[in-house]
Structure 1
């Protein structure tokens, strides 16, 4: 029970009684009227009691991972085209990306759009050419995209999407041919810091968040509303069948290429806090690669079904994207936004006509 108000009230009553006694005595003696008694205000005590509690200190978070940090460095997102045929594995720097998108290209092989922001690798590669779906992936980042080259129509679309282009064919600094890894054209590598140093004023800001993140892994939507899951198998094509297995010790999903554990050249296992597997339409872009193979295009403007795995749980989702530069959104079965676990996210763009997504 507060003590100060009680004492204040007691003093007030004491002063009032004392004043009344003085008045009575004065009336009897015919002397001068006593001064009005001094009252004791309780306003200070009330103000203290009503003072608002200090606002909690919320640490800054990296926008592409949702992970907290002492400070978030202001720099643009860097999206890099990394290839993925068997002969180039393991890739360099892939384990340091914040987000990795996997897409099917000609011949059923896959390529990655690896997005860097919270970490700065010393080296990344092998780097290859752009494809028609890359503007829809990279445009919402509003940053830099690095690639070896590409058909002029694809390159123009990237530029029209508001991105700063770093092209080896275009003469951008930072690219080089690396000896002892693979024959050309599979040996283009780069120093990413060179790309960041060349960012212009229109592409210097940090990216907006691309996903909604829970504050903790335990508050992720798949954990709260999903079902138990230990393995996610994705058939991208007859050539590419990545598999993700939940690792309880690290709380991450570990990637394998088929039955072969996937690693970076550093030796680190490729891992993700979240894997987002989306059913997408794959259409003929109407173009061919230099070898004469039709170039497919993943259609990302639209909507579809998918699944998200976080921790040891999975959740069915609906995805939607309203325009090339709009962020792709994920909704739970009840229509609520999906919150991912803080950390690295891999996005598998699985052709709905020929691919499969299996959770077990």
Structure 2
């Protein structure tokens, strides 16, 4: 006896077929209630064609794309990347503890600045918000979302806008920015994520693509399955910036410090990460200077180099690669396999080759 197996239709195909059958049923019902003449086949065909041409609904996954965390309430909304400063006088910053991904980059004088990316969580406010730098397009373009900032050289702003993101600028009066009375300029610009999202145009309204590969569970992540146990990861970015990460088994997270001082949110809770990704990069002179006359450095993120991945209390050596500005950064293990991270938030440390160091203990 032969059995015919019909291929399973996708959800979108089933919706189209259901719509077509409903339209066909409606036309038959109208025909039956009329003069008794058979229904017009042209009308039925038109209804089916219309249903086929209907725009498909966005496919919302069951995991947040920037964290790999499973959820029943994943919302179809874009990522919002916000430039947040990091000199000692502004700590603790607002909203860093709720970012899906935080990139740390070195700017003038060895001070670092953050690109904090929000998607799965939306804190009420974020800041202090500062200006963009020449490496920001390579960080934000793969997200295909919004970038909020306050200030930046004209050439940097143009490059960011040309990278395909939607820019939200405090300087040009976009909504969502305000000056707090609790700090002095220029450290007093904060933002409201909900208002930023309200301004998303038609080309920047969907979930971001996945930026890293995630395991389904911490125990299945690459560092846990193939790495080496580690208690801490100490990073030397410059004489000013020395972030550190200590593994807390009870919390199941890496806890952040700034030059040995615990880094916290305004609530007092420690800043933490499920994953810490150290990316060794070349740091070059961008050919521009800031208002004080200091050279503006640029991190080169298109290319390839050494990386270190910390997840689940273990670390794994890896290679990073990024073929173009708008391509996500990929992580590859020594055996050629794609590195998978633990579900949760990720901090990316951009550590200069030559002057920067990474110490695992």
Q: Which residue of 1 aligns with 2:17?
A: none
Q: CA deviation at 1:119?
A: 0.4
Note the C-alpha offset of 1:267.
Answer: 2.2
Q: Which runs of 4+ in 1 moved over 2 A?
A: none
The 2-side partners of 1:342 and 1:201 are apart by: 30
Distance in 1 (CA, whole Å) between partners of 2:218 and 2:86 is 29
1:107 aligned counterpart, secondary structure: helix
* Contact 1:149 1:170 (8 Å CA) reproduced: no
- Write the deviation string for residues 270-303 of structure 1: whole angstroms up to 9, x where unpaired: 1000000011000000000111110000000000
Residue 342 of structure 1 aligns to a residue whose secondary structure is: coil
User: CA–CA distance in 2 between the matches of 1:183 and 1:351?
Assistant: 31
The residue number in structure 1 matching 2:26 is none
In the TM superposition, residue 59 of structure 1 has moved relative to its aligned partner by 7.5
- Cα displacement (A) at 1:157: 0.4
Residue pair 1:247, 1:253 contacting (<8 A) in 2 also: yes
Q: 1:144 aligns with which of 135, 143, 146?
A: 146
What is the match of residue 276 of structure 1? 277
Relative to structure 1, the CA distance from residue 59 to residue 294 in structure 2 (aligned partners, 3 Å threshold; closer, same or farther) is: closer
Residue deviations 1:140-185 (CA, integer Å, cap 9, x gap): 00000000010000000000000100000011011111012x3110
> 1:59, 1:70 within 8 Å by CA — same for their partners in 2?
no
Structure of greater Rg:
1
Structure 2 segments unaligned to the other structure (5+ residues): 6-59
TM-score, normalised by the number of residues in structure 1: 0.84
> In structure 2, the residue corresponding to 1:275 is in which secondary structure?
strand
Tell me whether 1:294 sits opposite 2:295 in the alignment: yes
**Is the Cα–Cα contact under 8 Å of residues 277 and 349 in structure 2 kept in the other structure?**
yes
Summarize deviations over 1:194-217 as a string: whole Å, max 9, x none: 000110000001100000000000
Establish whether residue 91 from structure 1 lines up as the match of residue 89 from structure 2. Answer: no
2:201 alignment counterpart: 200
Distance (whole Å) between structure 2 residues aligned to residue 264 and residue 82 of structure 1:
13
The equivalent of 2:248 in structure 1 is 247
Is 2:160 the counterpart of 1:155? no
* Preserved contact between residue 61 and residue 74 of structure 2 (Cα < 8 Å): no
Specify every segment of 5 or more residues in structure 1 that has no aligned partner in the other structure, as ranges: 1-42, 51-57
Hey, what's the Cα distance between the residues in 1 that align with 2:94 and 2:210?
A: 25
Where does residue 228 of structure 1 map in the other structure? 229
Partner-residue secondary structure (3-state), 1:245: strand
Is 1:173 matched with 2:175? Answer: yes
Q: Which residue number corresponds to residue 191 of structure 2?
A: 190
**How far has the Cα of 1:308 moved from its partner?**
0.5
SS in 2 for 1:246: strand
Q: Which residue of 2 aligns with 1:209?
A: 210
- Give TM-score, length-normalised by structure 2: 0.83
Shift of 1:333: 0.9
* 8 Å Cα contact 1:90-1:264 kept in structure 2: yes
Deviations 1:244-282 (A, max 9, x none): 000001110000001111011132211000000011000
Q: Which residue of 2 aligns with 1:261?
A: 262
